[in-house]
Structure 1
Amino acid sequence: MTTKNHHGVTDQAADAAILQSCRMLRLPTIRAQFAATAESAEREHLSYLGFLAELLMAECEDRDRRRSERRIKAAGFPRSKWLSDFDFDANPNVQPATIHTLATCDWVRNGQPLCLIGDSGTGKSHLLIALGTAAAMAGFRVRYTLAAKLVNELVEAADEKQLTKTIARYGRVDLLCIDELGYMELDKRGAELLFQVLTEREEKNSVAIASNESFSGWTKTFTDPRLCAAIVDRLTFGSNFIETGTDSYRLSHTRAQQAATNTG
């Protein structure tokens, strides 16, 4: 049965008008949910204001979620990692309170650096990606890259006279996450270009790095001692510093699984 409201508009015409308006105003959530929300509002005797509030809140929540998803995607993380999945019991070096403080993203807001130092398998990359994801969800623009990839990109950009543009692009994001710093030796040119990116961001926007080398071992990566000292200085001034240790919990987890299989 087609019913009419007080102004003589049929429900069918009202539906069509709402769909059309939602398309014009770009309100996909309201467009998808208005019929079901109207039904439940009628059942629960919700006021007009209550009904409108429900629809608008649903649209806002969805819009926030979609924005977060876009920022996470734009960051270029190689895989999904969440702070809720980090196994603090497996790595007692990492204090939950410290990570929960970092999860508030105040350090990103204040443009401070973050250094995660520890051996392979101790959770550095997990924390780097998870804290980067938390920052993206909090509304910050984040970019993730491997150190070697970043340096190669900078060298190519310099060769093609695009260096200023590339450095500006890396300078613009609120948080730059550099993974696997210290895994390979960088020649003087590569190190200088990386230093330019760090200088561009200094005390304005945050840099978070994960490295398997303590700072004293960075002379193997940055062979020019003066440049090495300058880069360490850039990354440690006002830095949040986390040592994830030397015991690979990834390795112990694999060993535990193998032991369980062998005894099973």
Structure 2
Amino acid sequence: MTDAPELLLAHHLKTLRLLTFLREHDKQARICAAEGVDHVRYLARLTELELIDRERRMVERRIKSAKFPAVKSLDSFDFKAIPSLNKMMVLELARCEWIERQENVIALGPSGIGKTHVALGLGLAACQKGLPVAFVTAAALVSERLPAGAGSIIWRNVIPGTA
């Protein structure tokens, strides 16, 4: 014989797309019962787990959608290797307020100094803040936007990405 309330709960949670709730409710119920936690705290734990998991999945979707060639954070960037790079400015850019102000960031410099790593780090920071990101190298942008015989291009609101 099946447990009708359990099946009904599973059905409702699937319908509402509360997948973490569905996966964790029984485990959390046992933990809360052992700890003497009331039903409100039990529900609060489940909803917190659901929210954390949803945010994680949304960040993962934004990262996938950005089409980064690699996922790199600013935490792994060696600022000491490029002393001329203003670390505080880069960390300020990682707050992503420039995106909300609809400003652009352009990284210029010779090959191998970390422009792409910084761009990837800024893009990852934007994804984590809930902003949509499209990673495009300057070379790809030029070849995509420049029709044969065109003399000029205007770029607006390009999310981080350099050659």
- The verdict on a shared fold, with TM-score over 0.5 as the criterion, is yes
The one-letter amino acid of 1:131's match is L
Structure 1, 87-96 or 23-32: larger mean CA deviation: 87-96
Aligned to 2:127: 136
Identical residues among aligned pairs (%): 33
Distance 2:71 2:82 in 1: 20
Which structure dedicates a bigger proportion of its chain to strand? Answer: 1
The one-letter amino acid of 1:35's match is D
Match of 1:154 among 137, 145, 153: 145
The answer to whether the aligner puts 1:58 opposite 2:49 as a matched pair is yes
Match of 2:16 among 6, 22, 25: 25
Ranges in structure 2 where 5+ consecutive residues have no aligned partner: none
How far does the alpha carbon of each residue in 1:85-135 deviate from its partner, in whole angstroms, 9 at most, with x for none? 001122212232222211111111111111212211111000011101111
Aligned-partner SS, 1:145: coil
Distance 1:98 1:152 in 2: 30
Distance 2:75 2:36 in 1: 39
Offset, 1:150: 2.5
Asked if the contact 1:107–1:206 (Cα under 8 Å) also holds between the matched residues in 2, the reply is no
Aligned to 1:92: 83
Aligned-partner SS, 2:62: helix
The answer to whether the aligner puts 1:107 opposite 2:101 as a matched pair is no
Question: How many aligned residue pairs are there?
Answer: 163
The one-letter amino acid of 2:22's match is R
Ranges in structure 1 where 5+ consecutive residues have no aligned partner: 3-9, 159-186, 212-264
Aligned to 1:210: 162
Aligned to 2:68: 77
Asked if the contact 1:112–1:207 (Cα under 8 Å) also holds between the matched residues in 2, the reply is no
Alignment map for 1:5-24 (pairs within 5 Å)? 12-24=3-15
Asked if the contact 1:108–1:206 (Cα under 8 Å) also holds between the matched residues in 2, the reply is no
Distance 1:145 1:209 in 2: 5
**Segments ≥4 residues shifted beyond 4 Å:** none
User: RMSD of the alignment, in Å?
Assistant: 2.2
The one-letter amino acid of 2:106's match is C
